[in-house]
Amino acid sequence: MNPVNIEPYKLPADATWLVTGCSSGIGREIATLIASKPNQRIIATARNPNDLSYLPDGNSNILKLPLDVTSVESVDAAFTAAAQQFGENFHLDVVVNNAGYSLSGDTEGATEEEIHQAMETVFFGTVRVTTRSIAVMRQAKERRGGLIFQISSLAGLCAFPGHAFYHAGKFAVEGFSESVAREMHPDWNINFCIVEPSGVKTNFEGHSKANIKPHPAYLDEDMPARKLEKYVNAGKKLGVGMEPSALAEILFMIASREERVPLRLPLGAVSWKLSKSKFETLLGDFEAVKDISAMGQEI
């Protein structure tokens, strides 16, 4: 199996960052942080560019662009605009796929339109930006490589009731990202980091989350999805979760510390503990079916 992220990554002093979903939350904090760094360039994107007014105008290192990751035309236009802005020296060093969307509720109640909208944003949007970014990075004359952060979630490793399509999208992103990372030629020095935070204090619930119409068969309070809803709502009232600014600082640290980039990065104690527990449970499950799995062969 082709190894990934072989060499330590060194962030160029004049690195160009492309960040999706910069209107609020994690994306906004990353864009704000990079804009504050001398000589670092930021291409900040949002579906509505008016949501990027928090970034100053008139700075040649800051480019604000409209970008809807669900639209092929919009993605192509954003990459074209960035290349035109920075001219023949255009390069991408760090890409943060942060644009997000969640569809929550009873799986049986989801409509075809709701399902497709969720997958378009979470999975296909990530694919579009990733593949175009790789093309820019590997074609750079200076062979300076690059780093792609995929903002996944604990939901990309562990599945919980009432979020089937969000999990499907994040699981797909993680599988896609690992596979593509293993396709990279070592000389390209293109690195991937799949970031898996647990709760983050953003307005994601009201801004980028859709709820499926409740299904009558799942309304009882003892249903797993209803129990989880109560737990999550209680956590939100208590202000549980990490600050998006702290996550932004972690990403910059990973990019600039001149060490090997981790392929997977669970963030937060909850994410680390639940992820570790899942794999420990899987190992036990594998042992329980070892004789069956062997199909008469030696394991």
Report residue 285 as tokens.
């499950």
- Alpha carbon distance 152, 178 (integer Å): 12
- Alpha carbon distance 110, 215 (integer Å): 9
Considering the candidates 9, 104, 133, 170, report the single residue annotated as catalytic. Answer: 170
**What does the CA dihedral 239, 241, 243, 247 come to, rounded to 10 degrees?**
180
Report residue 7 as tokens.
């060499």
Considering the candidates 64, 166, 177, 275, report the single residue annotated as catalytic. Answer: 166
Considering the candidates 23, 102, 104, 152, report the single residue annotated as catalytic. Answer: 152
- Alpha carbon distance 193, 178 (integer Å): 9
- Alpha carbon distance 181, 175 (integer Å): 10
**What does the CA dihedral 102, 103, 106, 112 come to, rounded to 10 degrees?**
-150
Cα dihedral sign, 288-154-169-127: negative
Closest CA to 130 of 144, 152, 150, 116: 150
141 is catalytic: no
Give the residues across from 210 on adjacent strands: 103
Give the residues across from 192 on adjacent strands: 148
Report residue 154 as tokens.
């604990």
Whether 171 and 156 have beta carbons less than 8 Å apart is answered as yes
H helices of 61-106, in order, are 72-86
60 is catalytic: no
Give the catalytic positions in this structure: 152, 166, 170
